[in-house]
Every structure is written in structure tokens, then in C-alpha cells.
């Protein structure tokens, strides 16, 4: 997360939804709170931040009403595209040795379905909506990765920040059609794992963009 006292925002980093680019950009701004930095993960949820900083005096000051009028924001992504992107990232970057046990994309999703511990323990396997639970503000903006430029512009207008629009991390697989990775059975696995996100954020397997823009008309759509 990034909490900024000058521009009054909290950025929630949802994995595989342009979060790294956004974090890098937002951390160049003055007014950032150092208590937001987790020692081992970039993908801390709001609830996890609350638990981790429960004994921190500076974090307590932030919790004690100081954040109420801040804008909490973050981005979500098409679940089927996101899982395809995650798999190719793990295979290409190999951040964990367990990836050597994965034989294919199908094997990856089937192990996720079956509850294999290291896969289900990945932050990327958590429903995206969970990252925003417990947000200590009255204003919550959840933008879409598929509309990153427009939605980030809305955040910039609401907070007064003036930074270039971040770009999602490029990869060798960016721009490929995620649907080519799927059989109907594999698509059903993702539909089950992310049923809450699919319903809340209006995604469909065959539609690259959400059916509805969550925050198109108001920054207070979610309260």
C-alpha cells in the first residue's frame, strides 16, 4: 500500500493489475508514509496492514480518524486474463522454486482448485475485492485495469496528483489472447475461484472488458 498525507490517498496494490507500475509512480510523490511498507510482500491487503501495524504509534495516528476523508483506490483485472498472466509470470520469472513442479497452465489451475498450499497461499489467488476490505475511508474508488488510463485520470483529478499515467509492466506475453490458454473446464475453475470478483466487477470470460464501469460516474460508488 501507499498512504499519502499530502494528497490524501491510500493506494491498494492488487497483484497482476498494474500495481507495480502504480506503486513506483506514486512513491515519487511527497507526503508518503513509511509505515505502509511491508518487509516481505508488495501485495498487503488493508486488513493485513491493520494487523501488522497494530502496535505502531504512527500507524495508530493514521487509523484514529486521520484517514476518514482520504480516497482509497486500486485496480482490478479480468480474472481469466489475470490468471493467465500470473502463470506466465511465474514460469518466466520463477520467483519460487515450487514453480518447477507445475507442468502446464492446466496443471496450475487444477492444483489451485485442489487447494495445493503454496498456490492457494499466493496473494494473487485471493479474490480481488478482499484487498479493499476494511478500508478506513469513506471514499473508495475501484478502477479497472482494462480502463487504466481513464480511471487513473479520474483518481488524479480527485486527489490533485500530477504524475504521468503509469503503464502496466510489459511482458513477452502482453497482448496475447488469454482465451487460447483455456478449455471450458479450465475456464470453470477460474469462474469458481473468483466468483465474487466476477459478480461484483461484471467480468465475463468472452468479454475482454467489464460489462459495467464500477466508478464511471462517482468516486463514492463503493461505501
For the chain, what are the domain ranges? Answer: 2-201
**Summary mean pLDDT of the chain:** 84
Q: Is the separation of the CB atoms in 90 and 96 below 8 Å?
A: yes
pLDDT at 178 over 80: yes
Average pLDDT over residues 50-57: 72
Average pLDDT over residues 171-198: 88
Give me the pLDDT at residue 223, please.
37
Give me the pLDDT at residue 49, please.
76
pLDDT at 116 over 60: yes
111 or 21, greater pLDDT: 111
Predicted confidence band at 61 (pLDDT cuts at 50, 70, 90)? low
Predicted confidence band at 57 (pLDDT cuts at 50, 70, 90)? low
Handedness of CA 48, 79, 142, 195 (dihedral sign): negative
Give me the pLDDT at residue 195, please.
96
Percentage of the residues of the chain whose pLDDT score is greater than 90: 46
Average pLDDT over residues 184-207: 95
Fold of 2-201: Rossmann fold (3.40.50)
Give me the pLDDT at residue 135, please.
78
Predicted confidence band at 107 (pLDDT cuts at 50, 70, 90)? very high
Give me the pLDDT at residue 111, please.
96
Which of 2-16, 51-65, 134-148 is predicted most confidently? 2-16
Handedness of CA 161, 162, 165, 169 (dihedral sign): negative
Amino acid at each position: 500500500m501507499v498512504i499519502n498525507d499530502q494528497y490524501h490517498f491510500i493506494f491498494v496494490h492488487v497483484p497482476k493489475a498494474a500495481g507495480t507500475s502504480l506503486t513506483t509512480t506514486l512513491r515519487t510523490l511527497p507526503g508518503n508514509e513509511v509505515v505502509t511498507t511491508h518487509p516481505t510482500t508488495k501485495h498487503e491487503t488493508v486488513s493485513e496492514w491493520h494487523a501488522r501495524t497494530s502496535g505502531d504509534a504512527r500507524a495508530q495516528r493514521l487509523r484514529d480518524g486521520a484517514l476518514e476523508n482520504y480516497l482509497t483506490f486500486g485496480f482490478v483485472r479480468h480474472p481469466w486474463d489475470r490468471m493467465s498472466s500470473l502463470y506466465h509470470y511465474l514460469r518466466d520469472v520463477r520467483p519460487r522454486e515450487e514453480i518447477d513442479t507445475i507442468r502446464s497452465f492446466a496443471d496450475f489451475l487444477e492444483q489451485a482448485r485442489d487447494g495445493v498450499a503454496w498456490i492457494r497461499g499466493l496473494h494473487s489467488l485471493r479474490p480481488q475485492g478482499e484487498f479493499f476490505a476494511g478500508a478506513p475511508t469513506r471514499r473508495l474508488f475501484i478502477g479497472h485495469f482494462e480502463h487504466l488510463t481513464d480511471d487513473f485520470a479520474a483518481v488524479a483529478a480527485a486527489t490533485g496528483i500530477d504524475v504521468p499515467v503509469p503503464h502496466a509492466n510489459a511482458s513477452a506475453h502482453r497482448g496475447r489472447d488469454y482465451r487460447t490458454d483455456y478449455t471450458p473446464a479450465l475456464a470453470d475453475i477460474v469462474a469458481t475461484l473468483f466468483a465474487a470478483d466476477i459478480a461484483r466487477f461484471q467480468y465475463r470470460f468472452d468479454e475482454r472488458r467489464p460489462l459495467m464501469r464500477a466508478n464511471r460516474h462517482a468516486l463514492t460508488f463503493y461505501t
